[in-house]
């Protein structure tokens, strides 16, 4: 911490200049890695190691500190730091002479990233990527920063000042550095979550606290929460939808709708190709950071799907279709798994693939089409982006635009589709952003869930089929011989699964089961949950560690309940356990879920912001949950109609089991006593601790479910 202040106060070098990017040189040790991010750095003059015992042994043997650089392949500032520093011969020489340098892909090794990002936050109060850590050979950090330029400016030191200064301190004042490293690692170990006191309220008051916290930072002008930069954080919206369902608080739904509408109109949404960019650099969702992440597409699709179920507004269904259309077109492997991300940069410029100059638009479109484009989108001769080009930002909803133009909304959409097709055909000829084609089990689990939910709500069997292909691929190709998950798949890579891999894949498998009613997916979800409890459960304090019990290359086992860009694995696991308990009738799953809640309750009670996935799981656990068992075949006309009644409603606390004989009874013993009524498919509905007489018609089921609203 003291080192950080010394570095920041260093003077700017008056002779600083930007070095041009070096040409590809000889390969370093990263050349044999599978990660696209590591391979991007395989020809840097920096003598990179992958994360390995070999690297730390070299640091100990040579008596050097370790420079750890963490990033990912679609990270804009990671590219900038590579061009400025890691491709520069002088900067590389400084690193090579004084340090052992390690490069880590945060998406491939989220366990490493979590530990050292937490260290960076503790030391500097800031986090982000690229993450730069300097540590001892026994993996204890004593310096942290994010992006570091080659040369310093405005009072902030650059790499050419920081590295020599730390090398000097390592030689002359090592005891202070080692004390600092010990303190930081001790702080990280002590930061483990402790169980909440017995009198801690895990009840509706906690949900109210979470709602109040979000309402207090809501941006009524632009939608979303807080100021710039603004992230979608769809797990906040998923919680608010559940809170609205429970409380009937109109403002909860208003926050969701205003945010979803603002995001889908803004530049953060790709109006041509579909899908959402990572975040907005401004408060109004106008100017995006252009990378596209699979997990954002998945969780955003979930939010728009549930908003459609809650309101019946077709605009939300259309956005779901555009998100998933992008994923199925551009982010799906031949094997069925989903790729991780697309870069923000193209041809070395951020956003170049997505931007339009005024002259280019004039060349591409007929005058009438250009006039309509300008009416629909915020486009200017001088551009609306810093390069003098334009991002497509909708001026209004299409419904409002149609009213002003005096045409039907359907006609306006048809005209826009023609314009979009023309613009897309031109855009496709540009150099595409780089795609990170590794397949991650956790992010794929989220996308499987999103596709399954959308398949139900929008009656799209093709979405269910895509989800099934991805699930089958992971279950067949991304597991060890003893049935444990692998985290990442690319050219034979074999990295052990983390908590999120289990929690999110089980999430997706449960949704997929409730879509297709193929018992193999429910069986796989139950088996993976048992493995998750066996290898990740903290027998001392409860909750689930992020890394498994046989992880041997980490300085500690991290455990967290706070949401980040994606929901918390612990909180998702709690929901998985509750849902499995209702689908299988196994009380031990529900007991484990409440142990998770108690282990995490202290964190959420202290600061509910950042724990909305936990609150969504708690909402399900507090009930009344609706348990529906259908007896019949999924092809039966009466069963199909009853499923339609269930799926067109927003019922976030429901579970649906289809009883189809002995296979179902093996997973859910209670299904043995259920039967058709007079030859008709029957729905057995329980809520809370009471069950209703079975019904055989969609109308009866509709009335029964209506009573639950």
CATH code for position 559: 1.50.10.20
- Domain match, 454 and 417 both: no
Q: What is the mean pLDDT of the chain?
A: 91
Taking the C-alpha atoms of residue 81 and residue 101, their distance in angstroms, rounded to an integer, is 15
Residues 6+ apart with CB under 8 A from 340: 73, 74, 107, 293, 294, 436, 437, 438, 439, 440, 443
- Domain match, 428 and 448 both: no
Segment 498-516, tens digit of pLDDT: 999 999 999 999 999 999 9
Query: pLDDT at position 603, please?
Result: 60
Query: pLDDT at position 343, please?
Result: 94
Tell me the residue range of the domain where 535 lies. Answer: 204-217+294-341+437-622
Q: Is the pLDDT of residue 552 over 90?
A: no
Taking the C-alpha atoms of residue 256 and residue 240, their distance in angstroms, rounded to an integer, is 7
Taking the C-alpha atoms of residue 265 and residue 316, their distance in angstroms, rounded to an integer, is 12
Please give the share of the chain, as a percent, with pLDDT higher than 70: 94
The residue from 587, 622, 657 where one domain ends is 622
- Domain match, 8 and 143 both: yes
Q: What is the mean pLDDT of residues 459-479?
A: 97
Query: pLDDT at position 16, please?
Result: 31
Query: pLDDT at position 282, please?
Result: 96
- Domain match, 50 and 68 both: yes
Nearest CA to 294 among 256, 328, 266?
A: 328
What is the band of 371 on the pLDDT scale with cuts at 50, 70, 90? very high
- Segment holding 252, helix H or strand E: helix 250-265
Segment 324-352, tens digit of pLDDT: 999 999 999 999 999 999 999 988 899 99
The residue from 365, 399, 432 where one domain ends is 432
Q: Is the pLDDT of residue 662 over 90?
A: no
- Domain match, 414 and 320 both: no
- Domain match, 32 and 119 both: yes
Nearest CA to 128 among 270, 322, 303, 289?
A: 289
Q: What is the mean pLDDT of residues 361-388?
A: 94
Query: pLDDT at position 199, please?
Result: 47
Number of structural domains the chain divides into: 4
Q: How far are the Cα atoms of 362, 403, 625 from residue 370, in angstroms, in the given order?
A: 7, 19, 52
Q: Is the pLDDT of residue 8 over 60?
A: no
Tally Cβ neighbours within 10 Å of residue 544: 26
What is the band of 707 on the pLDDT scale with cuts at 50, 70, 90? low
- Domain match, 453 and 497 both: yes
Query: pLDDT at position 6, please?
Result: 31
List beta partners, residue 350: 345
- Domain match, 356 and 458 both: no
Q: Name the DSSP class of 276.
A: B
Cα dihedral 225, 227, 231, 232 sign: positive
What is the band of 7 on the pLDDT scale with cuts at 50, 70, 90? very low
Q: Is the pLDDT of residue 101 over 70?
A: yes
Segment 630-647, tens digit of pLDDT: 999 888 899 999 999 999
Segment 264-291, tens digit of pLDDT: 999 999 999 999 999 999 999 999 999 9
Tell whether 265 is covered by a domain.
no
Query: pLDDT at position 188, please?
Result: 83
Q: Is the pLDDT of residue 652 over 60?
A: yes
Torsion-angle region of residue 235: left (phi > 0), alpha (psi -120 to 50) or beta? alpha
Query: pLDDT at position 208, please?
Result: 94
- Domain match, 608 and 632 both: no
Tell whether 303 is covered by a domain.
yes
C-alpha dihedral over 166, 169, 170, 173, to 10 degrees?
-160
Segment 29-40, tens digit of pLDDT: 999 999 999 999
In our burial notation (b when 16+ CB lie closer than 10 A, e otherwise), range 592-629 reads bbbbbbbbbbebbbeebbbbbbbbbbbbbbbeebbbbb
Cis bond upstream, residue 130 (ω within 30): yes
Segment 439-451, tens digit of pLDDT: 999 999 999 999 9
- Domain match, 399 and 535 both: no
What is the band of 22 on the pLDDT scale with cuts at 50, 70, 90? very low
Tell whether 168 is covered by a domain.
yes
Taking the C-alpha atoms of residue 285 and residue 300, their distance in angstroms, rounded to an integer, is 14
- Domain match, 415 and 461 both: no
Least confident of 97-101, 465-469, 701-705: 701-705
Query: pLDDT at position 194, please?
Result: 54
Q: Is the pLDDT of residue 156 over 90?
A: no
- Domain match, 80 and 52 both: yes
Query: pLDDT at position 109, please?
Result: 95
Q: Is the pLDDT of residue 195 over 60?
A: no
The residue from 380, 407, 432 where one domain ends is 432
Q: What is the CATH number of the domain that holds 43?
A: 3.40.30.10
Q: Is the pLDDT of residue 1 over 60?
A: no
For the beta sheet containing 654-659, the strands, ordered from the edge strand earlier in sequence to the opposite edge, are 654-659, 626-631, 682-687, 690-691
Query: pLDDT at position 708, please?
Result: 60
């Amino acid at each position: 911490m003291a080192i950080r202040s010394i570095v920041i106060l260093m003077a700017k070098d008056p002779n600083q200049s930007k070095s041009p990017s070096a040409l590809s040189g000889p390969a370093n040790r990263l050349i044999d890695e599978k990660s696209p991010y590591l391979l991007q750095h395989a020809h840097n003059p920096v003598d990179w190691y992958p994360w390995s015992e070999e690297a730390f042994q070299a640091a100990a043997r040579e008596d050097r500190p370790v420079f750890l650089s963490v990033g990912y392949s679609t990270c804009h500032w990671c590219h900038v730091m590579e061009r400025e520093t890691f491709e520069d011969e002088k900067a590389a020489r400084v690193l090579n002479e004084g340090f052992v340098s390690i490069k880590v892909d945060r998406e491939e090794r989220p366990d490493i990233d979590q530990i050292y990002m937490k260290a960076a936050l503790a030391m500097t109060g800031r986090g982000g990527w690229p993450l730069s850590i300097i540590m001892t050979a026994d993996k204890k950090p004593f310096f942290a920063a994010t992006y570091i330029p080659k040369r310093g400016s405005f009072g902030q030191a650059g790499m050419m000042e920081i590295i020599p200064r730390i090398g000097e301190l390592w030689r002359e004042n090592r005891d202070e550095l080692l004390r600092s490293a010990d303190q930081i690692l001790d702080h990280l170990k002590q930061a483990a979550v402790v169980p909440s006191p017995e009198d801690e309220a895990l009840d509706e008051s906690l949900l109210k606290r979470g709602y109040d916290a979000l309402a207090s930072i809501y941006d009524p002008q632009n939608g979303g929460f807080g100021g710039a930069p603004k992230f979608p954080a769809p797990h906040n919206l998923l919680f608010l939808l559940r809170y609205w369902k429970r409380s009937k608080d109109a403002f909860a739904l208003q926050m969701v709708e205003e945010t979803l509408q603002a995001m889908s109109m803004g530049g953060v949404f790709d109006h041509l190709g579909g899908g959402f960019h990572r975040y907005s650099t401004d408060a109004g969702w106008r100017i995006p950071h252009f990378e596209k992440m699979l997990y954002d597409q998945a969780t955003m699709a979930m939010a728009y799907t549930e908003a459609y179920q809650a309101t019946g507004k077709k605009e939300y269904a259309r956005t779901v279709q555009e998100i998933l259309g992008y994923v199925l077109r551009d982010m799906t492997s031949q094997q069925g798994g989903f790729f991780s991300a697309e870069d923000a940069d193209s041809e070395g410029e951020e956003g170049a693939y997505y931007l339009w100059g005024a002259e280019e638009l004039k060349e591409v479109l007929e005058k009438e089409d250009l006039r309509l484009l300008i009416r629909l989108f915020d486009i200017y001769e001088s551009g609306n982006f810093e390069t003098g080009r334009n991002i497509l930002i909708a001026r209004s909803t299409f419904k409002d635009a149609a009213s002003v133009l005096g045409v039907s909304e359907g006609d306006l959409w048809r005209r826009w589709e023609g314009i979009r097709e023309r613009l897309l055909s031109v855009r496709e000829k540009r150099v595409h952003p780089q795609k990170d084609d590794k397949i991650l089990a956790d992010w794929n689990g989220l996308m499987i869930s999103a596709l399954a939910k959308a398949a139900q709500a929008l009656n799209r069997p093709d979405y269910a089929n895509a989800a099934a292909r991805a699930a089958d691929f992971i279950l067949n190709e991304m597991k060890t011989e003893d049935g444990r998950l692998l985290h990442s798949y690319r050219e034979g890579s074999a990295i052990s699964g983390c908590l999120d891999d289990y929690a999110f894949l089980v999430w997706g498998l449960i949704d997929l089961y409730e879509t297709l009613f193929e018992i193999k997916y429910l069986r796989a979800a139950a088996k993976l949950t048992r493995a998750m409890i066996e290898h990740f459960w903290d027998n001392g304090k409860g909750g689930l560690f992020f890394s498994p019990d046989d992880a041997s290359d980490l300085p500690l086992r991290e455990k967290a309940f706070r949401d980040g860009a994606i929901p918390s694995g612990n909180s998702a696991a709690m929901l998985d356990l509750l849902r499995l308990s209702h689908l299988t009738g196994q009380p031990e799953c529900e007991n484990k879920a409440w142990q998770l809640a108690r282990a995490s309750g202290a964190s959420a009670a202290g600061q509910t912001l950042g724990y909305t996935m936990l609150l969504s799981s708690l909402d399900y656990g507090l009930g009344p949950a609706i348990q529906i068992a259908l007896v019949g075949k999924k092809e039966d006309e009466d069963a199909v109609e009853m499923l339609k009644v269930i799926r067109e409603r927003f019922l976030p606390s429901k579970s649906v089991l289809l009883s189809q004989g002995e296979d179902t009874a093996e997973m859910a013993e209670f299904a043995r006593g259920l039967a058709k009524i007079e030859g008709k498919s029957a729905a057995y509905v329980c809520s809370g601790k009471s069950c209703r007489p079975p019904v055989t018609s969609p109308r009866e089921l509709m009335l029964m479910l209506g009573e639950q609203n």
